[in-house]
Chain A
Amino acid sequence: MTANGLLQLAFFLGAIILLTKPLGAYMARVYQGERTFMDPVVGWLERLIYRLSGVNPAEEMDWKANAASMLLFNFLGLIVVYALERVQQLLPLNPVGLGAVASDTSFNTAVSFASNTNWQAYGGETTMSYLTQMAGLTVQNFVSAASGMAVLTLFIRGLARHSAETLGNFWVDMTRSVLYILLPLSIVLSLVLVSQGVVQTFSPSVSVPLLEQTTDASGANVTQQVIAVGPAASQIAIKQLGTNGGGFFNVNSAHPFENPTPLTDVLEMLSILLIAAALCYTFGKMVGDTRQGWSVLAAMMIVLLVFTCWAYEAESNGNPKFPSPAVDQTTTSLNPGGNMEGKEVRFGIVNSAAWAVATTAASNGSVNAMHDSFTPMGGLVTLVMMQLGEVIFGGVGSGLYGMLVFVIVAVFVAGLLVGRTPEYLGHKIEAYEMKMASILILIMPLTVLGLTALGVILDAGKAGIANPGPHGFTEVLYAFTSQGNNNGSAFGGIGANTPFYNLTGSIAMLISRYWLVVPTLALAGSVVKKKLVPVSEGTLPTHTPLFVFWLIAVVLIVGALNFLPALALGPIAEHFMMVH
């Protein structure tokens, strides 16, 4: 670690904290239907959408109707993306003339983008036509993120209201998420990114001469460099802001056209966490006690900070297997040093580690360095961040509602510890809530561990493994951890574009997104009916440092305990093999 490295981290995290309140307060106004400065710009559009789609914005629905709306909307989106991929060769905006995408890849991709995972089994520039990228994938980037935000808003209303039946209207919350939050931020961010060098054009590619000619794998001379370009900036902005993470190019934000400068890097990193962080404040505002939001954010921040430092330290230490002293891995102001395999010089160690932790903490999944080439401990950190259930920031919306489920579990046990039936925000936490919370906590490890077991037993699974030894196991574990948590990043070496991985991965993504939405909304539907339990001296406050500490402990224990044996056979074994 260097002073400059820590300064960059401080700047990044400080910026998030500074932006949390203004953006969070704005979003609270948006979701509470209050007037904002954006009303004159998009108000008419909002009303038009309601009128055309037959939504009565004043109509509220219970949890079941909301869940049905969300599932239906996402299901339709999934079908449209699948169809677009299968017939893209017949449609316009396909300048390179890419053919139809294979059915298993198409299905995996459709599920992936609808579920806000954005796992990419394919290389963007070689598989998807511009039309598919724009009308299929970019649209899902918006609406899957907005769906998550809408579900969160419904969930928050469940906690904010008492003795009520309805949670709000999914269509309204979803529409307002797109029009008032995601779209304006995306436009601004994409233009800033273009100014730094991110490409945004409809021409297919440019050809430039090589200064020094080279030979390809077949020995033929190569004198030209064909550079893929395209409308990247507009997709990158929303993939970051909406914690989607699906890159325009294969290597995602490691590509110089997706992430050309340190400034774009920090802005894109900020965008990963920004909305998720600000939603904490929105939550506090909507339940009428901003301290509740800050304490949840504090728990997220602390975990993020600790794990970022851990990964940063691990990557800085470099690879002891490299010949020494022939290779200089020390970090100086002239040499980024550390484990540079799979990393870009312009970002160095600190920004690569910080990004890796941020993208796995949030269920973003975009990368600016290759996680597969991280040191074992660096890779372990990214795995753990996902295995905590994507609740440290997590996906926009989904991360916070996941975290609030952990809060409920923490409140439950803490309530027992202080000898009082647990309550959170004036709602008694009883058997039904614990049943839903248990389902929510249970499903993810079952999916991830079960499918990983399948992956390392079946030949179809083992065939995709790229690296030998424990690292190969980690690749499979990472693939299902990522998809089973709607993250989308990968240990990229794995050959996952096979029917086996495409199918099992789709199952993981479907379960982790949609199976979890239902109990989440059911939980909200249950607490919203409860009578308000007034706060007294005996009530355990959920905004104290002690509770924040306890919440972190619950998240870590529940997350880490489930996966420790698996991690021992992957990164932990690899780590001790590397250092000994």
Chain B
Amino acid sequence: MVNELQAGKQVVGSTSDQLKNRPIALTGEMVRRAVGDAFVKLNPRSMARNPVMFVVEVGSALTTALWIQALWGTGEAPAWYIGGVSLWLWFTVLFANFSEALAEGRGKAQADALRRARKDIVAKRLNAPRHGSPFEIVASSALRKGDVFLVEVGEVISADGEVIEGVASVDESAITGESAPVIRESGGDRSAVTGGTRVLSDWLVIRLTAEPGGGFLDRMIKLIEGAKRQKTPNEIALNILLAAFTIIFLVVCATLLPFSIFSVAAAGQGTPITMTVLVALLVCLIPTTIGGLLSAIGIAGMDRMIRHNVIATSGRAIEAAGDVDVLLLDKTGTITLGNRMATEFTPAPGISKERLADGSQLASLADETPEGRSIVVLAKEKYGLRGREIHEISAQFVAFSAQTRMSGVDIQSDGTSAQRIIRKGAADSMRAYVERLGGVYPAAVQQTVQDVGRAGATPLVVVENKEVLGVIHLKDIVKGGIKERFAHLRRMGIKTVMITGDNPLTATAIAAESGVDDFLAEATPEDKLKLIREYQRGGRLVAMTGDGTNDAPALAQADVAVAMNTGTQSAREAANMIDLDSNPTKLLEIVEIGKQLLMTRGTLTTFSIANDVAKYFAIIPAAFATTYPALNALNIMGLATPQSAILSAVIFNALIIVALIPLALKGVKYRPVSAVELLRRHLLIYGVGGLIAPFVGIKLIDLFIHAIGLV
């Protein structure tokens, strides 16, 4: 039963795809809420966190004041015109706020869903830490760390904790969205339970490991809501650059006033540039597109992780994922399907294949491991041996134990045949077993064992009484498409390392078949830690997944550490991401999301700065039209009037933010190609595109506002 559930989970690679499509779709409600939030965010104190947009807000306020002044009849330009510019400057701020609110909105909806799981419930606090001890009913919020409580069938676990007694199946769908229950039991790697999940069978005695409100679910909600969102290193660096651009353009615009005053005197005609135009120019020049969308990009990156059912404990971790150089991948479940399958029988000299198949099947009848069942199935399919029911034969099964390292069956003699003692197990233990009984371990079998191992399979030797029947090939099945995936990673510059407990021979074969770059065979947790440190000393960033308690040190050491949600509490605490699907292949997607996050920032920055060229061509001839009419030669877009030129540039600048919100939220599409190819592609689309797009956009807006007779 236990195995089956686990097996079920291990092969769920496909169900995660279905989970991904559990996104919270953009609903009218969310948009409405975001619009409201956009206004709330106008509060200068929250705007000050974003220097670029703060400057726009100040500019908007300034032009509004100028507009009011113009309404009184003493304005520097017609009131409708200043008002128009001012209005669109406010829109620029609002659009940026809206993008951020929208990105947060998705998270909020997700958080609400989670919060529903964390209703205030009661808990049965035990007086003594054992099942059967008397308990009192308390509110879950009254529980403290270290308290022990009992959860029985149908009840919701009130807080995060560790199982100290009992085995139960638990429905964790509230967190993972996965409807199949998982097993939680005391000791070992499946002892951690999460508050808000429901016990479906049996009971558990749980010791509380987190204060109420500090549990996993609470942390998740906080993360998703963005309350704890800190700027990531690259975001900080980019912010510095954007702030520098903003300061430069501030000075460019501020000095333009004296320049213009001088020029009016020198040319003997015209009027100095107006404040309205200066503010419009400033807002158009400073990188508002990226500045306005920057935090939305960050939030959306976190959100994309959540939609992949990965909870990152910090944005930093997501960013680091994009930089990963080395992926440490567990063989089982990531590179190969969780279970080895019997693929062939090779009999010992003098033994018929049928006899080997028969013996193998008998020895495996009671073996409920996937390997065991695959032996039964192979014998049935290849040699027509009907799977016999255990009770048909008077047999006694011997389960696998760590001491004997073999399993099998003892069939009582029924008079017609002698007693049959069949055992199967690893080659070396079977050899010892046969030799202890005084049997002969044929050299041919020894040879087969080696060949099988070299081919990447695991040999099981079958012995009846003291006679070796032959070898069963248990083969790892490499997941479909994994080779192509590794090739993609290689092109991205990421090295894949397979971690396996197999011997080097087997590991070599699987490594070759799956296309990983390197492997660590017969790996112990210490080896893993050592390997990570080695890579890090060489300047590489390492990512890994893990679930067991013994993975915790390595997880803590790795730069990107993904813990399986099914894993132990200590593993989950050492990691900086938790995969709710517990799907080891997820690491690959995490890397892509990390890269996407950086790329979206880079492309929008490039686009934003490239836009400035066209804006200059729109605004400069307009701004100095009265002083130097000759500069109209720069009006290559043929904009109708100076006013329409400036208004069009400001409107374009505001609208482009809205137009790019979907890109900011979705992220730039990731392509597994080389860095040079990616740079070429993105420079072409966002650099050259960023040069051209505003020329077209501003011209169209100009045509439109001219057509409707606004100017």
Contacts and interface: CB of A to CB of B under 8 A. Distances in A.
The answer to whether A and B touch in the complex, with CB atoms under 8 Å apart, is yes
A417 B676 contact: no
Interface string B56-75: 00000000000000000000
Interface in A549-580: 550, 553, 557, 561-566, 568-569, 572-573, 576-577, 580
A577 B591 CA distance: 57
B637 to A, nearest CB: 16
Contacts of A409: 241
Contacts of B674: 537
A432 to B, nearest CB: 8
B259 A421 contact: no
A419 interface: yes
Nearest to A465: B266
Interface stretch (A148-156, A352-360, A448-456): A448-456
B518 to A, nearest CB: 13
Contact of B255 (A452, A537, A547): A452
Interface string A420-439: 11000010011101110111
Interface in A140-180: none
B383 interface: no
A472 B266 contact: yes
Contacts of B676: 540-541, 544, 546
B343 interface: no
Interface residues of A, number: 67
B444 interface: no
A419 B233 contact: no
Interface in B459-503: 490-495
Interface in B236-276: 236-238, 240-241, 243-244, 247-249, 251-256, 258-263, 266-267
B236 A456 contact: no
B238 A450 contact: no
A22 B130 CA distance: 84
A473 B237 CA distance: 37
A566 B634 contact: no
Nearest to A540: B675
B322 A412 contact: no
Given A416-B599, A537-B493, A541-B676, A568 B262 contact: no
Given A441-B244, A576-B630, A536 B602 contact: no
A564 B616 CA distance: 8
A414 B241 CA distance: 13
Nearest to B263: A569
Contacts of B612: 557, 561
B325 interface: yes
A419 B630 contact: no
B400 interface: no
Interface string A189-211: 00000000000000000000000
Given A421-B323, A561-B285, A531 B539 contact: yes
B675 A469 contact: no
A365 to B, nearest CB: 24
A417 B262 contact: no
B275 to A, nearest CB: 15
B259 A419 contact: no
Nearest to B610: A557
Interface string A255-295: 00000000000000000000000000000000000000000
Contacts of A538: 325, 492-494, 675
A431 B236 contact: yes
Contacts of B234: 416, 421
A553 B688 CA distance: 11
Interface in A49-95: none
Contacts of A415: 598, 602
A417 B624 contact: no
B602 A413 contact: yes
From B538, B539, B596, B603, name the one whose CB has the most chain A CB atoms within 10 angstroms. Answer: B539
B258 A537 contact: no
B252 A470 contact: no
A276 to B, nearest CB: 26
Contacts of A462: 262
Interface stretch (B5-13, B307-315, B345-353, B678-686): B678-686
Nearest to A573: B628
B609 interface: yes
A19 interface: no
B423 interface: no
Interface string B570-604: 00000000000000000000000011111101110
Contact of A457 (B233, B258, B322, B623): B258
B295 interface: no
Contact residues on B (Cβ < 8 Å of other chain), bracket = 35 or more
B262 A457 contact: yes
Contacts of A457: 258, 261-262
A175 B399 CA distance: 83
A547 B683 CA distance: 11
A429 B237 CA distance: 9
Contact of B322 (A421, A431, A572): A421
B606 interface: yes
A445 interface: yes
A412 B243 CA distance: 15
B633 interface: yes
Nearest to B540: A534
B633 A576 contact: yes
B233 A421 contact: yes
Contacts of B634: 568, 572, 576
Contacts of A449: 251-252, 255
Contact of A452 (B259, B281, B602): B259
Contacts of B266: 468-470, 472-473
A532 interface: yes
Given A469-B267, A562-B252, A565-B616, A418 B602 contact: yes
A442 B244 contact: yes
Nearest to B325: A536
Contacts of B598: 415-416, 419-421
Contacts of A541: 675-676
A446 interface: yes
Contacts of A441: 244, 248
Interface string B662-681: 00000000100011101110
B679 A446 contact: no
A445 B244 CA distance: 11
B241 A438 contact: yes
A540 B267 contact: no
A8 interface: no
Nearest to A560: B613
B605 interface: yes
A533 interface: yes
Contacts of A550: 679, 683
Contacts of B495: 536
B142 interface: no
B265 to A, nearest CB: 9
B259 A473 contact: yes
A293 to B, nearest CB: 19
- Kindly list the 10 A-B residue pairs having the minimum CB-CB distance in the complex, ordered from nearest: A538-B493, A416-B602, A419-B595, A438-B244, A576-B630, A537-B493, A536-B493, A456-B262, A417-B602, A419-B599
Given A431-B236, A534-B538, 12 more contacts: A409-B241, A421-B322, A450-B251, A453-B255, A537-B675, A550-B679, A564-B616, A566-B255, A568-B628, A569-B263, A569-B627, A576-B630
27 contacts: A412-B238, A419-B595, A419-B596, A438-B241, A442-B244, A453-B254, A456-B261, A468-B266, A470-B266, A473-B266, A534-B538, A536-B325, A536-B494, A538-B325, A538-B494, A539-B675, A544-B676, A546-B679, A561-B285, A561-B612, A565-B256, A568-B620, A568-B624, A569-B259, A569-B263, A573-B627, A573-B628
Interface of B: 233-234, 236-238, 240-241, 243-244, 247-249, 251-256, 258-263, 266-267, 281, 285, 319, 322-323, 325, 490-495, 538-540, 594-599, 601-603, 605-606, 609-610, 612-613, 616, 620, 623-624, 627-628, 630-631, 633-634, 670, 674-676, 678-680, 682-683, 686-687
